[in-house]
Each structure stands twice: as structure tokens, then as C-alpha cells.
């Protein structure tokens, strides 16, 4: 069974750093692109970008370029989303997901989400 | 970026009736080389992650009930639920994966009338 299990909810202060994780199982992790999607409270879905789990190629949404970093640890089938300095506006639910394949990047499996709250 | 615009923003339909949600892209998401529309539909129920319903604009994902169907080509697409069930109450999103960033529509909230 394909699963993407994300790390737990986080409460942080503005200016703090954060790294959340997404562990894949039930499929060959390194053959897929892992997508990150943001959903602000009560809002729609925002595609943040993706990372190729087998080679670390990345593509960021222009609106988020430089604000977050994607990474992967192939040895433990885990992808990460990282912030150096959080802002209150980063408060949101963050989903990791699996893109079907390189030429068809629709999302076929989703993680359960990690809620990030940034507040002073 | 390709802008995806859904209509209506919310919709109330009686049980057993048809529900229709529209999605329009700011440029074509049809690749002429393979004649495929790079358009997907997702369903998100409260407190849950989204779930894939439809890809290639009209291909139902395995396990999705056949009352859900997708149609359209180029820039105009439709998700139809032929006979609304109580469990279909959700927010529905379209997404284009023709070119990055793979943008989503703003969502359509579907409720029971």
C-alpha cells in the first residue's frame, strides 16, 4: 500500500527555522517526484513545487523561490520541506504528495498533512 | 503561469440530482503531440487531504464511483456528478499539469440543498 506519512504539527515563533518530513512507503521512492502543496486556513491549494526523490532535481513555484528548500534522504525514503526564517504568513497546512510520473505530474497519493502555526 | 478559474465558487444540489462544476484555464492544456489534456480533478472532504478523482480530463481514477465524470478539452472543462450522494459533500479542485507551476483552481464547495 502506498503511503506518505508526514511529521506532526508544529508551533513556531517568527524568525525560527523548521524542517518537516514526509516518509514514503509501499513504492520505489526514488522513482518519483515528491510534490509539496500549501493550504492556508480556509483557502485553496497552492502548488509549491517538487523534488525528484532519485536525484534531487527540484522545481519551485516562482512565488516561493528562495523562501523554502526541498530535500530528500534516499536512504530512508524521506522528503523534507525547510524554512530558514519563518513568518506568520507561513502558517498553513502543508501536504506532501506523489506525482504520477515525470511526464504526467498529477498527484495520485497525498500525505495526511502537517499543520504549521507561526505565532509570537 | 496558467491561471485556473472554477465556477461556481459554491453549489447546493439536492440528493440524487446532477452537480456540474466548471474549470477554465487561461491557456490551452492540450498537448497536440499526444492529444491529451493535462487536467486533473480532486475532491477534498473536511479535515482530509485531497483525493484524486479524474486525470487526463476524463479518466477516472481506480475506485472512484462512476457517477463522477470529467469532460472538456483545450481550456474548458467540466466535472459532473450524475446523482449526488451525501458523501459527495466536499470541495472540488481542478489542476493543470501542462506546465509548471502546476496550478490549481480556487475550489468549488459542494453542499446538499
Query: Which chain A residues have a beta carbon less than 8 Å from that of B50?
Result: 45, 95, 107, 110
Give me the pLDDT at residue A65, please. 80
Confidence of residue A66 (pLDDT cuts 50, 70, 90): confident
Q: Which of A39, A41, A45 to mutate to test the interface with B (most CBs of B within 10 A)?
A: A45
Give the three-class secondary structure for A88.
Answer: helix
Q: Which of B48, B49, B104 to mutate to test the interface with A (most CBs of A within 10 A)?
A: B49
Distance from CA of B7 to the nearest CA of A (A): 14
For chain A, give the percent of residues with pLDDT over 90.
92
Contact assignment for A107 to B50 by CB distance below 8 Å: yes
Please indicate if any CB of chain A lies within 8 Å of the CB of B42: yes
For chain A, give the percent of residues with pLDDT over 70.
100
Give me the pLDDT at residue A47, please. 97
Q: Is the model's pLDDT at A102 over the cut of 90?
A: no
Give me the pLDDT at residue B53, please. 98
Q: Which residue of chain A comes nearest to B40, CA vs CA?
A: A106
Residue with cell 524568525: A15
Contact assignment for A44 to B107 by CB distance below 8 Å: yes
Query: Which chain B residues have a beta carbon less than 8 Å from that of A106?
Result: 38, 40, 52, 55, 95, 97, 102
What is the rounded average pLDDT of the residues B19-35?
96
- Could you read off the pLDDT of B43-100 as tens digits, one per residue? 999 999 999 999 999 999 999 999 999 999 999 999 999 999 999 999 999 999 999 9
Closest alpha carbon to B49 in A104, A88, A7, A38:
A38
Beta strands in chain B (DSSP E): 4-7, 10-13, 19-25, 30-31, 36-37, 39-44, 51-55, 59-60, 68-73, 76-81, 90-96, 108-112
Distance from CA of B93 to the nearest CA of A (A): 8
CA B46 to chain CA centroid, Å, is 17
User: Cβ atoms within 10 A of the Cβ of B12, count?
Assistant: 12
Confidence of residue A56 (pLDDT cuts 50, 70, 90): confident
Confidence of residue A16 (pLDDT cuts 50, 70, 90): very high
Query: Which chain A residues have a beta carbon less than 8 Å from that of B105?
Result: 44
Query: Count of A–B CB contacts within 8 Å?
Result: 58
Give me the pLDDT at residue A18, please. 98
Please indicate if any CB of chain A lies within 8 Å of the CB of B11: no
Q: Is the model's pLDDT at A6 over the cut of 90?
A: yes
Amino acid at each position: 500500500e502506498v503511503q506518505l506519512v508526514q511529521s506532526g504539527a508544529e508551533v513556531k515563533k517568527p524568525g525560527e527555522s523548521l524542517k518537516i518530513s514526509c516518509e514514503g512507503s509501499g513504492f520505489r521512492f526514488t522513482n518519483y517526484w515528491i510534490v509539496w502543496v500549501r493550504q492556508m486556513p480556509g483557502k485553496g491549494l497552492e502548488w509549491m513545487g517538487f523534488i525528484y526523490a532519485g536525484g534531487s532535481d527540484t522545481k519551485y513555484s516562482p512565488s516561493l523561490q528562495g523562501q523554502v528548500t526541498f530535500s530528500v534522504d534516499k536512504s530512508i525514503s524521506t522528503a523534507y520541506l525547510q524554512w530558514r526564517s519563518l513568518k506568520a504568513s507561513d502558517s498553513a497546512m502543508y501536504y506532501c504528495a506523489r506525482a504520477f510520473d515525470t511526464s504526467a505530474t498529477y498527484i495520485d497519493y497525498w500525505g495526511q498533512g502537517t499543520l504549521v502555526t507561526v505565532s509570537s | 503561469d496558467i491561471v485556473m478559474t472554477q465556477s461556481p465558487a459554491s453549489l447546493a444540489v439536492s440528493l440524487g440530482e446532477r452537480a456540474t462544476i466548471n474549470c477554465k484555464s487561461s491557456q490551452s492544456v492540450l498537448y497536440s503531440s499526444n492529444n491529451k489534456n493535462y487536467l486533473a480533478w480532486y475532491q477534498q472532504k473536511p479535515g482530509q487531504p485531497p483525493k484524486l478523482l479524474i486525470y487526463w480530463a476524463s479518466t477516472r481514477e481506480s475506485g472512484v464511483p462512476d457517477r463522477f465524470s470529467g469532460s472538456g478539452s483545450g481550456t474548458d472543462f467540466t466535472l459532473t456528478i450524475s446523482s449526488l450522494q451525501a458523501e459527495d459533500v466536499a470541495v472540488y479542485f481542478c489542476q493543470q499539469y501542462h506546465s509548471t507551476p502546476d496550478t490549481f483552481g480556487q475550489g468549488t464547495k459542494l453542499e446538499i440543498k
